């Protein structure tokens, strides 16, 4: 085996050094991620420049890049909090969040990679305790779930306003009450529903009775008016009209004109 030329060894060493430098200098940032540049021999974390975006980057081999996920992420939380009357309530909630892209350098400098545990989780727990403490278990169980969801979101967002993170939504997935309290609330709601139904039936019956009375009064008034308007002459005329109609019937009959009371005709025979 022939010996390598003297000039070949330095070339190989130089090539190895270049490969190492290139490996240290090359940074690839994936989809939905961004990089914070840390300059070892300068001012440390770069905060006055945009973060490194997706794709391939070359940096000085002595510098570092800290990669963050910048797409929306989800936090699941199970929290035990107290209602306004001191009863323990369990809330299952989700928070949608992401770091503020333009503030990624400051986020790393002030909070670090564990910003979720340092600010987001404490913020949502604090907001949940504050909001739920304003309501009774009955309100939480029945009609106030959407309200507490909106209030927890608003309070958490206020707390995180200067923490370089963006809160997109808070969703309350479940509110769990102690079984004894839940059963008592369900019994109360059932009784209230039955009471409302009974009141509705009473109101309906009262309206129906009022309707019958009004109809009866109307008929009585109509009969009274009719009776007052009927004179002997009108009655005789109506009797004559009725007699004429009966006389047109094919059945055999005898009609005595003026033989009845008040001068009305008498009809004899009907076959």
Residue 262: which region, alpha, beta or left (left: phi > 0; alpha: psi -120 to 50)? left
Indicate whether 125 belongs to any domain: yes
> Of 69, 91, 119, at which residue does a domain stop?
69
Indicate whether 199 belongs to any domain: yes
The pLDDT tens digits of the residues spanning 217-243 come to 877 777 677 666 656 656 566 666 666
**Shared-domain flag, residues 172 and 96:** yes
SS3 60: coil
**Shared-domain flag, residues 80 and 167:** yes
Indicate whether 183 belongs to any domain: no
Average pLDDT, the chain: 79
The pLDDT tens digits of the residues spanning 134-186 come to 888 777 776 677 888 999 999 999 999 999 999 999 999 888 887 666 666 65
Indicate whether 184 belongs to any domain: no
The pLDDT tens digits of the residues spanning 69-115 come to 999 999 999 988 888 888 888 889 999 999 999 999 999 999 999 99
Q: Which domain holds residue 162?
A: 73-177
Indicate whether 2 belongs to any domain: no
Task: Residue 89: name the closest of 184, 174, 189, 190 by CA.
Answer: 174
Indicate whether 1 belongs to any domain: no
Indicate whether 110 belongs to any domain: yes
How far is the C-alpha of 78 from the C-alpha of 241, rounded, in Å?
A: 92
């Amino acid at each position: 085996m022939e010996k390598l030329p003297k000039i070949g060894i330095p070339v190989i060493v130089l090539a190895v050094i270049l490969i190492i430098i290139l490996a240290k200098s090359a940074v690839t940032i994936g989809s939905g991620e961004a990089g914070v540049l840390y300059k070892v021999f300068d001012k440390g974390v770069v905060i006055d420049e945009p973060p490194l975006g997706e794709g391939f980057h070359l940096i000085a081999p002595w510098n570092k890049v800290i990669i963050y996920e910048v797409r929306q992420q989800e936090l699941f939380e199970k929290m035990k909090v107290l209602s306004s009357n001191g009863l323990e309530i369990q809330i299952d909630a989700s928070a949608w969040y992401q770091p503020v892209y333009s503030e990624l350098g400051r986020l790393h400098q002030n909070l670090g990679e564990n910003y979720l545990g340092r600010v987001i989780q404490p913020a949502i727990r604090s907001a949940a305790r504050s909001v739920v403490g304003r309501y009774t278990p009955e309100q939480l169980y029945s009609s106030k779930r959407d309200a507490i969801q909106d209030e927890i979101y608003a309070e958490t967002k206020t707390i995180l306003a200067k923490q370089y993170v963006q809160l997109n939504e808070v969703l309350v997935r479940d509110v769990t009450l102690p079984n004894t309290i839940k059963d008592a609330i369900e019994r109360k709601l059932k009784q209230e529903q039955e009471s409302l139904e009974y009141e509705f039936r009473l109101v309906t019956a009262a309206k129906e009775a009022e309707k019958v009375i009004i109809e009866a009064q109307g008929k009585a008034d109509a009969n009274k008016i009719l009776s007052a308007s009927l004179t002997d002459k009108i009655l005789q005329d109506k009797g004559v009209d009725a007699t004429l109609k009966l006389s047109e019937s094919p059945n055999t009959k005898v009609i005595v004109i003026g033989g009845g009371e008040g001068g009305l005709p008498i009809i004899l025979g009907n076959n």
